[in-house]
Amino acid sequence: RIMERVNLKDLHLTYDAGNLQTRRATDMIVLHHTGNPTDDDLSAEEINTSHQAQGWTCIGYHYVVRKDGTVEIGRPHWTIGAHAAGENSHTIGIHVCGNFEIGYPTAAQIESTAMLLANLCTDYGLSIDRDHIVGHRELMGTACPGRNLFSQMDEIVGKANFYANQ
C-alpha cells in the first residue's frame, strides 16, 4: 500500500539558489509558529519577503502550513534551513501559521502537518516519534511553537504514525 502524500503547493519563490547549501544529514524535524502579535496566516511568499528584508537568502523554513491546511514549499527541502540557530545543519523546519500562544492550530493544520511529518520521516528514514519531531522550544529558549501547538505534539506525532502506516 502506498502512503498518502500531502499536496505541496509550489509558489516558485524568488531567491538566489547559489547561496543555499546542501544539508548532509537529516535526523530531526522542528515545528515552528509565526508568533506575531496577531494570529496571522502568512504565506510562504510573505515570509520569504520578510526574511529577505532581514538579509536572508530566502525563507528560513522548508514548509509552511496555512490555516486551511495548504502546505506551501519554502526553502528547498534538501538545503540547510535558517529556523533553529545551531541546529539547522541537520534539521527540516516546518512553519505552522499562527500565534499559538494566543490562538489554536486549525484541525486542517493538524492533519496536514501530521501527513507532512509522515511523508518526511518516511522519506528520510526517521522514526516517527518525539525524539525526531520536536518543537523549536525544545532546542533553545523560545516560546515557539506556542503552547497551544506544543501541547498537541504527541497527538500530531500519533496522527503522523497513522498516516505512515494506514
Asked if residues 44 and 155 have their Cβ atoms less than 8 Å apart, the reply is: no
Q: Does 37 have pLDDT greater than 90?
A: no
Q: How confident is the model at residue 2 (pLDDT cuts 50, 70, 90)?
A: confident
Mean pLDDT (whole number) for 76-89: 97
Q: How confident is the model at residue 33 (pLDDT cuts 50, 70, 90)?
A: very high
Mean pLDDT (whole number) for 76-86: 97
> Tell me, what's the pLDDT at 7?
97
The predicted-structure confidence for 83-94, as pLDDT tens digits, reads as follows 999 999 999 999
> Tell me, what's the pLDDT at 166?
81
What pTM, to 2 d.p., does this model score?
Answer: 0.97
> Tell me, what's the pLDDT at 75?
97
Mean pLDDT (whole number) for 25-38: 93
Q: How confident is the model at residue 10 (pLDDT cuts 50, 70, 90)?
A: very high
